[in-house]
Amino acid sequence: MKKCFDAEKYLKIQKKKIKQRIKMFDKLYIEFGGKLIDDQHAARTLPGFLPDLKIKLLQEFKDDAEIILCINADAIEKSKIRADHMISYETEVLRLIEFLRSKRLYVSSVVITLFEGQKKAEDFAKRLKDYNVKTYFHTFTKGYPTDVDTIVSEEGYGANPYIETTKPLVIVSAPGPCSGKLATSLSQLYHESKRGVNAGYAKFETFPVWSLPLKHPVNIAYEAATADLADKNMIDYFHLEKYGVPAVNYNRDLETFPVLKEILTRITGKVIYYSPTDMGVNVIGDCITDDRAIQNAAKDEIIRRFYRAEVDLKKGLVPPEVPERIKLLMNELNISEKDRLVAGMAEEKRQKSGNLPSACLKVGKKYIAGRKTGYLSPISAAFLNTLKVMNRIPDEIDLISPTILEPILEIKNKTSNFKESYLKLGEVLIALSICSTTNPIVQKALESLEKLQGAELHSTHMISDDEMIILSNLGINATCGTEIDIN
């Protein structure tokens, strides 16, 4: 896909923007919303935005910054899962710590928020000792959100322990939404003010993009991505009234701003921000180089979100209102699931294959389909066919010999309680790796995997979680129908 976002420019002016905000205070706490790493939504919606661009940005401040990670105690207690990687929030925190350290970024502490004595949260704190990270417990802030006198007092923020920090820039992030980033940041501001430190607060949110129109597809794509949270984009009426400039924000920030403004004023003794937009430091809108292409990419993302919501509904993970909400957003832009051409090609393959589960990959302008076979899942079949097309390998050549596939499938069924008559994508990749040691054609095919970055895939039947994770790791944007493949 054509790049229509200037990542190099973004790093340059985003760094400048944050430095300007840091100069306003002795210490700045920035609440980082969205995914700190692996921001695939931004990469899909803004082609040219790199999934690890936020990490590259933080590395620009590595000598002056430290990171606090927040996790909700209830998320630990209920073993809340991150859907994109199918791992728990606490596992994601550990993954973040290891990854950030590998990039020489300093993670100083983890805050377990909304703590009420949850046993699993206490156990997690013990695990964190092995990572040499300080752990703090914060409880619900007394008086929040209406009693500002209590909130900004020793009974409110003062009841939380002060988190020791040493750097002028403190990044407050989390494994997912509703993790207590804002409360942690404001609690720190209260404690800093008691210590005579001129500390400030800012917000780093990739979406919605404040400088784009309210109904721009990029901003609507954000609503689709957060349909389960019922977020809704709105004009920042505080910003419009103060400056006469329209800006886009979302409902939760607008609803809480009057209280947040009062809290910040009580803590700092002065009015710093006049609108939610004032608090933000993101410069995404200044780095778009092709708005038409960006709009098309965002529309594609909204359709993908609809397919995902339909599957989540089928699994019982979301209520019917979630796909219904995304469908309404699609109607606003006059788009539908039929606009996902790779889905139509997958369905066409199924009809031609006697109603067998089928899948289709779109790489560049080429559509390559595959169906379920005696050895392969539809994803695996489409994947192998694609490797052949990309490398001009004749169709009659088997990248994996049946003499290798058969014993793998046999041992798989002997060691599994759930019998499957085919091999999934992960197993096929392992088989390819084995074959590549003696077959240069297979070796060449595997070397072309990086060309699948940004490819589109659709399966007529529900994709298993393990195959979906592998597709995501390969950079393939996958969707599927809600039918379940019964062997």
pLDDT of residue 1: 61
C-alpha span between 153 and 132 (Å, rounded): 31
Residue 107 near residue 97, CB atoms below 8 Å = yes
For residue range 257-266, what is the model confidence (pLDDT) as tens digits? 999 999 999 9
**Burial classification of residue 93, based on how many CB atoms lie within 10 Å of its CB (0-12 exposed, 13-18 middle, 19 or more buried):** buried
Q: Which amino acid is at 407?
A: P
Contacts 24+ apart (CB under 8 A), 78-82: 79/120, 80/176, 82/175, 82/176
pLDDT of residue 53: 93
C-alpha span between 114 and 120 (Å, rounded): 13
223: left (phi over 0), alpha (psi -120 to 50) or beta: alpha
CA distances from 26 to 23, 63, 111 (A): 7, 16, 22
C-alpha span between 260 and 144 (Å, rounded): 10
C-alpha span between 450 and 420 (Å, rounded): 29
Take residue 319 and report the two structure tokens written for it. Answer: 């209520």
Which parts of 126-247 are beta strand (E)? 134-137, 169-173, 199-204, 233-235
C-alpha span between 91 and 70 (Å, rounded): 13
Angle between helices 378-390 and 440-447 (to 10 degrees): 100
pLDDT of residue 65: 97
Take residue 88 and report the two structure tokens written for it. Answer: 């728990």
Tell me which DSSP letter residue 464 carries. Answer: P
For residue range 106-121, what is the model confidence (pLDDT) as tens digits? 999 999 999 999 999 9
DSSP strand pairing (477-483 vs 456-461): parallel
pLDDT of residue 320: 97
Indicate if the alpha-carbon torsion angle 366, 369, 375, 379 is positive or negative.
positive
C-alpha dihedral, 18 to 20 to 23 to 28, nearest 10°:
-20
C-alpha dihedral, 283 to 83 to 55 to 51, nearest 10°:
-70
Q: Which amino acid is at 283?
A: V
Each residue's pLDDT, cut to its tens digit, for the chain (487 residues) gives: 678 999 999 999 999 999 999 999 999 999 998 888 888 899 999 999 998 999 999 999 999 999 999 999 999 999 888 766 678 999 999 999 999 999 999 999 999 999 999 999 999 999 999 899 999 999 999 999 889 999 999 999 999 999 999 999 999 999 988 899 999 999 999 999 999 999 999 999 999 999 999 999 999 999 999 999 888 999 999 999 999 999 999 999 999 999 999 999 999 999 999 999 999 999 999 999 999 999 999 999 999 999 999 999 999 999 999 999 999 999 999 999 999 999 999 999 999 999 999 999 999 999 999 999 888 899 999 999 999 999 999 988 889 877 787 787 777 766 666 556 678 999 999 999 988 988 999 999 999 999 999 999 999 999 998 899 999 989 999 999 999 886 6
**Residue located via tokens 């019917």:** 320
Tell me which DSSP letter residue 135 carries. Answer: E
Where in the chain do CATH 3.10.630.10 domains reside?
7-287
Lateral strand order in the sheet of 107-113: 134-137, 107-113, 65-72, 169-173, 27-32, 199-204
DSSP strand pairing (65-72 vs 107-113): parallel
Arithmetic mean of pLDDT over the chain: 93
Residue 159 near residue 139, CB atoms below 8 Å = yes
Q: Which amino acid is at 169?
A: L
Alpha helix (H) residue ranges in 320-390: 321-332, 341-352, 378-390
C-alpha span between 303 and 293 (Å, rounded): 16
C-alpha span between 272 and 135 (Å, rounded): 31
Fold of 340-483: Cytidine Deaminase; domain 2 (3.40.140)
pLDDT of residue 280: 96
Take residue 16 and report the two structure tokens written for it. Answer: 């400048």
Angle between helices 291-315 and 321-332 (to 10 degrees): 160
C-alpha span between 91 and 79 (Å, rounded): 10
Where in the chain do CATH 3.40.140.40 domains reside?
340-483
Which parts of 42-198 are beta strand (E)? 65-72, 81-82, 87-88, 107-113, 134-137, 169-173
For the chain, the distance separating the N- and C-terminal CA atoms, rounded to the nearest angstrom, is 36
Question: Is the CATH number of domain 7-287 2.40.50.140?
Answer: no
Angle at CA of residue 223, ends 256 and 294, nearest 5°: 125
DSSP strand pairing (199-204 vs 233-235): unpaired
